[in-house]
Structure 1
Amino acid sequence: MKTMPLLIALLATAAACSNAGGQAAAQNKESAAQTSALAGLGGAPKGPIYTKEAGETLALSGYDAVSYFNASAPMQGKADYTVRYQGYDYRFANADNAKTFEADPAKYAPQYGGYCAWAIGANDALAPGDPNVYKIVDGKLYLNFNKAVAQKWAVDIPGFISKGDINYAGHDADEHYTN
């Protein structure tokens, strides 16, 4: 009879350890699902990509590029959903947006590497693009420096895009905006 309590205690301990292992396995699967969205799409940038500091790799100030197209407002991305494209890190709010980007990154990445569309079109200059001052034109995302600049850009969007496409191609991928 003395062995019965010992046997029950051993069985309870084994069950608890087994359950904890199952929970850990479930957490590992969930973590793997989150990091499985992390992908490296390779490729070299066709021009400079705006980051807050030279040498950084976080593109679009961490905003979710796909959210501009499928949400009512742009959303901040999360580090768990990062996709490296052309050497830069794009973050996404969720795994679905990361997968959408992976399928066609050129469709969602901002034009002119996230630099101000007006500055590159009007002055052949690099100026930061504000991720909250944007417009989608013909299915492409364009950023501007601020709302006042966006109003200047709105005067002749097709003309500025035409000039911007030519001007941006002349900039080296290693260039970075400086004050």
Structure 2
Amino acid sequence: MTMPTRRNFMIATGATVAIVGGALAFEGSILERLAGFEELPPTPVFAVDGVAIRGTDPVAYFREGRPVTGDAAFEAKWNGARWRFSSAANRAEFVAAPERFAPQYGGFCAWAVAARGKLYSTQPRNWSVVDGKLYLNFNDDIQSKWEADIPGFIARADRRWPGIVQGMA
């Protein structure tokens, strides 16, 4: 019987770490897909069945400080999607200045645009308004990551967004 050498131990340890690390990375990508955190095709606005930001009123984030479900009776078309509002006043305000109220990066996950340069879905409850601009994120976990360095993520996403938009042409 041969005694294990330090060299053999180091080789075995390195191989184990590589295998486990690869398995965890693979598992992470599967878990992301199962959770719905999957790359979306490039479009100007995150819209489910043509309705922007899951039918949430973008003006309400600014006026009420919370997500409010919009009503199909108060709808406007802009940037290839239908936007819903909780009132005629909010719709009128949006129509007058959509860039002021529409979420950054087309309503796609701001963290994913910054961290991965990719488009992922968002949830209305995961949001922040920074310097008068609305940012949406995928879920609570991603929102926490976003909040760890909002200025840094905004700077990275702002640099990446023009290239993503260019890919839509």
Structure 1 length-normalised TM: 0.66
Instruction: Give, in whole Å, the separation in 1 of the partners of 2:62 and 2:75.
Output: 18
Tell me which residue corresponds to 2:67: 74
Tell me which residue corresponds to 1:95: 88
Could you tell me which runs of 5 or more consecutive residues in structure 1 were left unpaired when the two chains were aligned.
Answer: 1-46
**Residues 48 and 171 of structure 1 are in contact (CA less than 8 Å); yes or no, is this contact kept in structure 2?**
no
Instruction: Give, in whole Å, the separation in 1 of the partners of 2:128 and 2:149.
Output: 13
Tell me which residue corresponds to 1:163: 156
1:116 and 2:112 equivalent? no
Aligned partner letter, 2:46: Y
Instruction: Give, in whole Å, the separation in 1 of the partners of 2:112 and 2:45.
Output: 14
**Residues 58 and 101 of structure 2 are in contact (CA less than 8 Å); yes or no, is this contact kept in structure 1?**
yes
Q: In the TM superposition, what is the alpha-carbon distance from 1:131 to its structure 2 partner? A: 1.1
Superposition pairs of residues 6-25 of structure 1, within 5 angstroms: none
Superposition pairs of residues 128-143 of structure 1, within 5 angstroms: 128-143=121-136
Q: What is the aligned counterpart of 1:51 among 4, 25, 47?
A: 47
Tell me which residue corresponds to 1:22: none
RMSD of aligned residue pairs (Cα, Å): 1.9
Larger radius of gyration: 1
Q: In the TM superposition, what is the alpha-carbon distance from 1:73 to its structure 2 partner? A: 2.1
**Residues 109 and 119 of structure 2 are in contact (CA less than 8 Å); yes or no, is this contact kept in structure 1?**
yes
Structure 2 length-normalised TM: 0.70
Tell me which residue corresponds to 2:78: 85
Identity %: 40
**Residues 78 and 92 of structure 1 are in contact (CA less than 8 Å); yes or no, is this contact kept in structure 2?**
yes
Tell me which residue corresponds to 1:144: 137
Could you tell me which runs of 5 or more consecutive residues in structure 2 were left unpaired when the two chains were aligned.
Answer: 1-42
Aligned to 1:84, what secondary structure does the other structure show? strand
**Residues 64 and 76 of structure 1 are in contact (CA less than 8 Å); yes or no, is this contact kept in structure 2?**
yes
Q: In the TM superposition, what is the alpha-carbon distance from 1:165 to its structure 2 partner? A: 1.2
Q: For this pair of structures, how many residues does the alignment match?
A: 127
Q: In the TM superposition, what is the alpha-carbon distance from 1:67 to its structure 2 partner? A: 0.4
